[in-house]
Structure 1
């Protein structure tokens, strides 16, 4: 089961660029969680709340699955492990989920935020500047998960900045 989870239902075995495939596969998962929260939780921010809870649970499940998959091996971050990309991509899209819920819009109507979040997350995940690189260099399962969490946070800031710029342009 840890292999199924860590590879996000074997998406991690797609080549080339398994991390990009994992990030792409995360998008429908993120959308579904937002919609389920919106439908089943009886308050305005139900979508982002369910998404946030799922991301926290996925982080800890991914941490455990990554530990199990890398135990005793030489490679601390095999390319087929993409559950970290799922978490990071979810964090990058979280501002879009919050924004859609806050204004009562369809989350897919904010598609520019999805595009910016995807591209910014992939950029930070591949480039690994500053704290992202430090987390990656830990050489353990926590580093595998943490570098993508930080990349997701950086990408979420880019999404917020892009939305601010976009809204400022529209207001002019």
Structure 2
């Protein structure tokens, strides 16, 4: 069980870049979780974090951080996704955007994007996907670059540090994606 959790059912064995594969899988599963509800994504993030600390403590000795252990990437990536998702879900602009999307992007509107969305089952129809792309890219950047608290947690060399560096990376990526979204959307709102 520890092996399955720590490698996220073997995703950690994918090469090259198992952390990136795990982050990508997290985004794809995150789409499904978000489609169920923001609260489901939040609960999954908390569960992945708790299971990650448990698995890392059970499996790793101090100083170990094997690349196949990717539960930390799942927890960190979902944390990063929570920030733009919360803003999108609970803001008035997010609600208005969804209403416009439902009116403009129906399958019979004839537009190229609407037809593409319908062909993939509308998976991205109610999803703040640009922010999720930024959250994914920024999470990978912070996880690899390891600035400030991310690097400090990584240098702890403890099983908890394995989880903490990715949680810090997720926090920073989530906050940065919200800032980028605000920088994009605020001028659009002011121009109305």
Task: Pick the TM interval, shorter chain.
Answer: 0.7 to 0.9
Gaps of 5+ in 1: 38-46
1:35-61 CA-partner distances (Å, limit 9, x unpaired): 222xxxxxxxxx1x2222221121111
Aligned residue in 1 for 2:67:
79
| Residues 76, 140 of structure 1: 8 Å contact kept | yes
**Bigger Rg, structure 1 or 2:** 2
Q: Aligned to 2:76, which of 82, 85, 88?
A: 88
1:57-106 CA-partner distances (Å, limit 9, x unpaired): 211111111122224xx751100011100111111111222133223435
Is 1:130 equivalent to 2:148 in the alignment? yes
Structure 2: how far apart are the matches of 1:159 and 1:107?
18
For 1:11-160, what aligned pairs fall within 5 Å after superposition?
11-37=11-37, 47=38, 49-71=39-61, 76-102=64-90, 103-104=94-95, 105=98, 106-108=125-127, 110-160=128-178
What is the aligned length? 159
Deviation at 1:170, TM superposition (A): 2.1
Is the partner of 1:118 in helix, strand or coil?
A: helix
When normalised by structure 1's length, the TM-score is 0.86
| Residues 7, 71 of structure 2: 8 Å contact kept | yes
| Residues 142, 172 of structure 2: 8 Å contact kept | yes
| Residues 97, 107 of structure 1: 8 Å contact kept | no
Deviation at 1:165, TM superposition (A): 0.8
Structure 1: how far apart are the matches of 2:88 and 2:178?
13
Gaps of 5+ in 2: 99-124
